[in-house]
Amino acid sequence: MGVTALCCAKSEDKHSWTFKNYSITSPSVFELAKEMEFAVLPIIPEDFIKDNGATYSSSVCGAVHVVIDRHLITGQNETSTLTAVQNLILLSNQRQGKASR
């Protein structure tokens, strides 16, 4: 659940979430509910994303689902990691190509 690290990012005004108005994915509540530690999770990413003004999307449980919004790449689950990393590399190479011109 790496996307939960984004939850502590506050904008310059210190009142709103940095990723408000972004499109983001994370493990769905349905996926998390299948985990043994669900009852003790300190935060449910899907709820946090929606409650703080971002757009949440997901696919069926276990499917590859990656969302790219501006400079942010998020994956729904471990199955999405490879695709997210590949997109990160492509985005980095694209930006590097613009810088060298």
pLDDT in tens, 59-88: 999 999 999 999 999 999 999 999 999 999
The predicted structure's pLDDT at residue 99: 66
Q: Which CA distances in Å does 48 have to 55, 90, 97, 99, 100? A: 11, 29, 35, 35, 39
* pLDDT tops 70 at residue 52: yes
The pLDDT of residue 14: 82
The helix (run of H) or strand (run of E) holding residue 74 is strand 72-75
